[in-house]
Amino acid sequence: MSRFQELVVEHGREIELQPGDHLFAQGEHDSRVFMVKSGLLKAYYIRVDGKEHIKSFLPEGSIIGSMVSLVDGDPCSFSLQAIEASLAVALPYSTVQQAAQSDIELANALIAFLSTYGKRKERREYELLSLSPEKRYAILLAEMPGIVERVSQADMAAYIGVTPQALSRIRRRMSR
Amino acid sequence: MSRFQELVVEHGREIELQPGDHLFAQGEHDSRVFMVKSGLLKAYYIRVDGKEHIKSFLPEGSIIGSMVSLVDGDPCSFSLQAIEASLAVALPYSTVQQAAQSDIELANALIAFLSTYGKRKERREYELLSLSPEKRYAILLAEMPGIVERVSQADMAAYIGVTPQALSRIRRRMSR
DNA sequence: CGCCGTAATTAACCGAGGTTCATTTGTCGC
DNA sequence: GCGACAAATGAACCTCGGTTAATTACGGCG
């Protein structure tokens, strides 16, 4: 566990979540960083046309916060909701920033975290730009084994960026 | 200009580029950070099927490097090439990291940079997941005014993720 | 067991982008 | 102005995901 995760766990406040509970919702201001201790969350947003899109599934160990809210104080661009009964830890980002002002080790842990985050987003961009929905589904299965049992097909469809019907067709094609 | 950019300019080595010249190519190891002083670069990769995809256009002031190569020392996942005659500054990332070990101000500048980078990628993910190619083209035009005069339509098509033919159709639809 | 609500599947139709190939336009160098 | 090459457009056909709506499968629960 990195210094960053340690800080969150040490100074954070625990929050219990039932399926459907939100940590924050799109449009709200929330400058906390969360760590998922157990359970499963999803980060998603609602588009203008009402469709839901899932940015990521967050199993145990994940760290998350709305980057725009943390950095610029803008309203969150997405919502954070529990899929399963979960346990999370919350810590104001200002605490992290303050600590980073004087704690070089923490600052570098933060840099490492943000770099990893950037890397993950780079790969996600590649997948979205280059790969078909079918390939993206295959990757999701490979990267999060057991996800099929934990989330609905509608959510997986919202993650790979197609309708539930399309995902159903994809699964049929793949099983043949 | 942030402390980060300052560091690059101060200690970096200048590199002149003609259109078509590469700073690094996909698959190579290159752990330098670059800043574009003038001109225009593109970051792109070649997919297994031979198609080219453009991650971003990099005008004056941009800072770039292959995150995976910087952080993990993996081979670069994309290539960096000049579209116009350009002037860039290169600095080994290890220099940045070392400086960040002792310079808390730089570390925080790095954090700010990485956060901004993460935010940009978040928005790009949103665009790819939610918006039609037509919308993405409109956004490109809005965000980089003058880009039409500076890059070929094929490159813009590679950026928004469609074929040149499709972009041609989109432009026809939009002009009506 | 049967009822009901939700999730998942299937079908039919449509439209947009991909693919391939031909044609036109544009831009140089001479 | 002309030839040559690249860039952009256009046309014909195909595939796949979106849309709408109907149907089936699956769980509780009375």
Tell me the nt nearest to B169, Cα to C1'.
D9
Residue A113 or residue A24, greater confidence: A24
pLDDT for B47: 83
Write the DSSP symbol of residue A60: T
Dist. CA B3–CA A43, nearest whole Å: 33
Please give, one letter per residue, the 3-state secondary structure of A98-135: HHHHHCHHHHHHHHHHHHHHHHHHHHHHHHHHHCCHHH
Phi, psi (degrees; rounded to nearest 5) at B121: -65, -35
Give the confidence band of B87 by pLDDT, cuts at 50, 70, 90.
very high
When pLDDT is averaged across residues A19-30 and rounded to a whole number, the result is 94
Pick the CATH number of B3-106 from 2.60.120.10, 1.10.357.10, 3.60.120.10, 3.40.190.10: 2.60.120.10
Is the CB of A68 less than 8 angstroms away from the CB of B107?
no
pLDDT digits (tens, 9 = 90+) for B113-144: 888 888 888 888 888 888 899 999 999 999 99
Say whether pLDDT at B176 is over 80: no
Q: pLDDT above 70 covers what percent of chain A?
A: 99
Return the pLDDT at A6: 85
Evaluate if residue A147 carries a pLDDT over 90.
Answer: yes
The residues pairing with A34 across neighbouring beta strands, listed in sequence order, are A64, A90
pLDDT tens string A101-122: 888 888 888 888 888 888 888 8
Q: What is the mean pLDDT of chain B?
A: 91
B129 touching A (Cβ < 8 Å): yes
What Å distances lie between residue B170 and B137, B162, B167, B173, CA to CA?
9, 10, 5, 5
Confidence of residue B70 (pLDDT cuts 50, 70, 90): confident
Q: Is the CB of B53 under 7 A from strand D?
A: no
When CB atoms are compared, the residue of A47, A100, A121 closest to B122 is: A121
* pLDDT of B64: 94
Q: Are strands B32-38 and A32-38 parallel, antiparallel or unpaired?
A: unpaired
Which residues, listed in sequence order, are joined to residue B4 by a DSSP beta bridge?
A: none
CATH number of A3-117: 2.60.120.10
Domain coordinates of chain A in residue numbers? 3-117, 131-176
Partner residue opposite B47 with nearest CB, options A72, A121, A130: A130
Least confident range from A6-20, A49-63, A116-130, B152-166: namely: A116-130
Å between A139 CA and C9 C1'?
23
CA atoms within 13 A on the CB side of A169: 6
Q: Kindly state the average pLDDT of the residues A6-22.
A: 92
pLDDT number for residue A25: 95
Q: What per-residue confidence (pLDDT) applies to A14?
A: 97
Contact B114, B75 (CB under 8 A): no
B161: Cβ under 7 Å from strand C? yes
CB B27 within 8 A of CB B76: yes
What percent of chain B is helix, strand and coil (3-state, nearest 5)?
Answer: 50, 25, 25
A111 close contact with B: CB closer than 8 A: yes
What average pLDDT does this structure show over B42-57? 90
pLDDT over 80 (residue A71): no
Model pLDDT, residue B50: 83
* Predicted local distance difference test score (pLDDT) of residue A107: 86
Average pLDDT over residues A75-79: 91
Tokens of A63: 């760290």
Q: Which two tokens stand for residue A95?
A: 């605490």
Question: What distance in Å separates residue B166's CA from the closest CA in chain A?
Answer: 15
What six digits make up the tokens of B173? 């639809």
Q: Is the CB of B168 under 7 A from strand D?
A: yes
